[in-house]
Structures are given as C-alpha cells and as structure tokens.
Amino acid sequence: MVANKNIRKFREGLRGRLFLPGDQGYDNARKVFNGMIDKRPALIVRCAGVADVMAAVNFARETQLLVAVRGGGHGVVGNAVCDDGLVIDLSRMKSVRVDPGNRTARAEGGATWGDFDHETQAFGLATTGGIVPSTGIAGLTLGGGIGYLNRKYGLTCDNLLSADVVTADGLLLKASAEENEDLFWGLRGGSGNFGVVTSFEYRIHRVGPVLAGEIVYSLDHAKEVLRFYRDWSTAAPEEVRADATLLSGSDGPALAVIVCYCGAVEEGERVLRPLRSFGSPIVDTVAPVPYATVQNLLTEVFQPGLLHYWKAGFLRAFSDDAIEAIVDFFAGAVTAPFAAIAIEHLGGAVSRVAPQDTAFSHRDAQHSLLVLRMWQDLADSEDNLDWARKCYRTIAPFLESGVYVNYLGDEGEAGVRAAYGANYERLAAIKNKYDPTNFFRMNQNIKPV
C-alpha cells in the first residue's frame, strides 16, 4: 500500500499521466495486445519523457513497488503489465528523428514499427524491424529483432548504435560501443533486464521498392512445396527473406510463402522465379511495392485484443521427417478460427555475427519456427491451448533447445536460460552490475547472483 500523499506528490511531479484503478482510462491503459492478459496494476504512469521515467523508477524503488515496463505492449507473455505494481508506460513517447545524411534514426522507447517506418521511409530508408506495424521497437530490439530485412542487414539489435537507459538507481546512462560497452552488449538480446530504454539510435539503410508479396498453395501440396522451399531458401541470396506458413484462416487451410526481396527489382525477379514457378500456386501477389506495403501485409490478421498463445523454437533439423510431421499434424487438426505454423527465414547477415558478439546467441539457426494460435472467446481457451501444445510436442524433436526470447512463454528458469543460451553467465554478470536487486524482473528474467 502506498500512502495517498506520496501518490499525490508523485502525480504532481509528472509531465505525463498517472492512472489508478477507477480512473477514467485505467482499464484501457492496462490492456496489452494479447487479450489473454488481464492484470490490475496499482498505478500506471504514462510517461511524457525521460524525467517522468526517472521519477517513476525512483518512486517505485522508494515505495518498494514491483515494476513493469511497457513499450508497444506486444509481448505475448504479458510482462509489460503487472498485478499490484507500477507500470512504466512509454506508449506516448513515440518521436522518431531521422538523419538521412548520416543514415541514422533515433526513436523513443514507445514508438512502434509503424511509427518508425513511417518516418524513415519518407527518406527511402529503413532498418530491420517487426513485420506487424503495431509491435513496439523497444521489446523487439532488446530481444534481438527479426524481420524482412534480417538476412541483408542483420537483426534489429545488430543495427543498434546506442541507447539511453534509465537504470534501477534512477540515473540516465548512454550505452554504445564507446560508453558502458558491457551494458550495450547486454541490450542486444538480453531483453528488458537492465533498465528502461528511453530511446534507441539505429543505423538505417536505403530500402525500397522491394519485390514482395504472398504465394499461396493448397494444403494438399504443402509437403512438396515445403521441401522445395527448404532447399531454395537455404541457398537464396541475402536480399531474400521468405517465410513459409501453414495457416487456417477464414478462407480455409493453406500454405502461404511471404517473400521480400530488398535488392534491385530486375535481379529479384530472376531470383524469385524458381519459387514462383514451382507447383501450382493458387495466389501470387508478388510485385514491386513500397517497403511499407510489405510491412503492412499482416496488419488485418493481427488485430489487438484477440487471445494469443505461442510456442516456438529454432529448427535444428529441417528434414523430410520434420516436414511430414508438421504438415500431418496441421492437416489432421486444423480448427477455426486461426492457427498457424510459421517458418521464418534467418541466416545471411544474422549468421555473420558471432554468437558472443551480442547477447543474442542463436546465430547459426537458418529457420525459426512459431506455433501460433489466436481466438476470440476466453471460454474457448482450453481447446486452443491444447491444440498449440500438442502441435509443439509433435514438432519439438526437430527443434533446438533454445527459443528466441521474444517468442518465449512463461516457461520457468530452464526456458529462460536456454533462450539466452551460452551468453547467460555473461548476462548475469551485467545484471549484477546494473541491477543487483533485480528491480527489473517483469521480463524473461536473468537473476543477479
């Protein structure tokens, strides 16, 4: 319990807004993307700037409140909010400043990929970012960051040049290759363990138009298409990212390959021809489009408020047996309204960075796999969770033990350790230095020793 007079003083010192239970806007402010999450914080502070973030950290420390940090609110596991504690909400801190001459952009911690792409594409520039515009830049970057440009330009965190971080003692630090290098290393894959990142500075690249779109096949041909996709995508040039997804949507089950070629369009036409002419696609929308178009392809599918459950892993063996198991499970157990098994294309520039060069360690993986279930009614949760868990159990023998930390669910300490992999001990040492009391623990938590 925090005394009313302390809350009043805290509120008066803010430029942003404070929400308490019962306040107008409180219920909206506690909602996150995943409709499964229903937490009731004691306080939500919607910060207007760095001073508010520092005040919030100091207030929580002095009053011993649990703290959650919210960027875009897309974390499926729901760590952006907490019961009874203080949510430091950055969702109004969205400014993006582009420096076209130096090819850099600085964005505040509440910006989304939609905000970021909007500003950078005005100059024909972009960096690797999430493939759904409402995803926050913050959580995504701190966990690694995969997206359509990752094979050409690396993970999002590989493009991070510096970050401003409010640490547990309420001070603002700059982390970069020159300053607080250990912190900078940890921010590139160590997720939200070390402080509140109030702004990110990125390297950006000339991007667009891209050759991109969707190639859809009937589920009956999914096995042969996936075998072709595996061989073709593994050998493809770095300009290509192609994700293959078995999905059941309103049009029934199918296999969709979303491609994005970020080099010269004529060369892209040549590179994508074998994929586009394989088998008998039902739909092929591949065409030269602005980068923003491909970044918006999935906006309709991922509406906020739906209930989500995800399980993931990196494919260790993308063998014929794996393909048989994935397709057989999917074909035998598809139910409405939305289920997907997505195979995401890594390698290229992602794999050219050594596992110990940043906190993101899964550099050798060529494909990541995501089992995704989305539904509308809480009463249907058991059936949906059951499907996703069975699906994952079928596929698990073909996966590595570690998971991309941003796709990790609530899976205990073993899951967290596997997600950080060989970098866990070094991350724990950085946690000891910058957050020895584990003040920031609503995350895929690295425990100080």
Q: Which residues bind ligand FAD (CB under 6 A)?
A: 32-33, 69-76, 79-80, 90, 109, 130-132, 135-136, 138-140, 142-143, 145-147, 191-192, 196-197, 302, 406, 442-443
Closer to ligand FAD by Cβ: residue 34 or 327: 34
Distance from CA of residue 339 to its chain's centroid?
A: 19
Closest distance of CB 99 from ligand FAD, Å? 21
Contact 7, 20 (CB under 8 A): yes
Closer to ligand FAD by Cβ: residue 185 or 281: 185
Closest distance of CB 328 from ligand FAD, Å? 27
Closer to ligand FAD by Cβ: residue 166 or 271: 166
Cα dihedral 343/344/348/354 (nearest 10): -100
Nearest 5°: the CA angle 437, 440, 443 is 130
Closest distance of CB 102 from ligand FAD, Å? 24
Q: In the structure encoding, which two tokens stand for residue 343, read together?
A: 């195979």
Closest distance of CB 414 from ligand FAD, Å? 19
Closer to ligand FAD by Cβ: residue 325 or 353: 353
Closest distance of CB 232 from ligand FAD, Å? 22
Closer to ligand FAD by Cβ: residue 35 or 213: 35
Closest distance of CB 347 from ligand FAD, Å? 15
Contact 182, 428 (CB under 8 A): no
Provide CB contacts within 8 A for 362, sequence distance 6+: 314, 355, 400, 402, 404, 421
Closest distance of CB 424 from ligand FAD, Å? 17
3-state secondary structure 291-345: HHHHHCCCCCCCCCCCEEEEEEEEECCCCHHHHHHHHHHHHHCCCCCEEEEEEEE
3-state secondary structure 107-175: EECCCEHHHHHHHHHCCCEECCCCCCCCCEHHHHHHHCCCCCCHHHHCCHHHHEEEEEEECCCCCEEEE
Distance CA 91, CA 239 (A): 32
Closer to ligand FAD by Cβ: residue 14 or 163: 163
Contact 187, 175 (CB under 8 A): yes
Closer to ligand FAD by Cβ: residue 248 or 406: 406
Q: Look at residues 397, 405, 407, 408 and name the one whose alpha carbon lies nearest to residue 424.
A: 405
Closest distance of CB 145 from ligand FAD, Å? 5
Closest distance of CB 302 from ligand FAD, Å? 4
Closest distance of CB 172 from ligand FAD, Å? 12
Contact 33, 10 (CB under 8 A): no
Distance CA 396, CA 403 (A): 11
- Backbone dihedral angles phi then psi of residue 338, each to the nearest 5 degrees: -145, 120
Q: At what angle do helices 50-63 and 4-12 cross, to 10 degrees?
A: 170
Closer to ligand FAD by Cβ: residue 310 or 398: 310
Closer to ligand FAD by Cβ: residue 74 or 221: 74
Distance CA 437, CA 1 (A): 21
Closest distance of CB 193 from ligand FAD, Å? 8
Closest distance of CB 96 from ligand FAD, Å? 14
Distance CA 189, CA 113 (A): 18
Closer to ligand FAD by Cβ: residue 131 or 419: 131
Q: Which amino acid is at 278?
A: F
Cβ count within 10 A of residue 336:
11
Closer to ligand FAD by Cβ: residue 115 or 119: 115
Closer to ligand FAD by Cβ: residue 178 or 300: 300
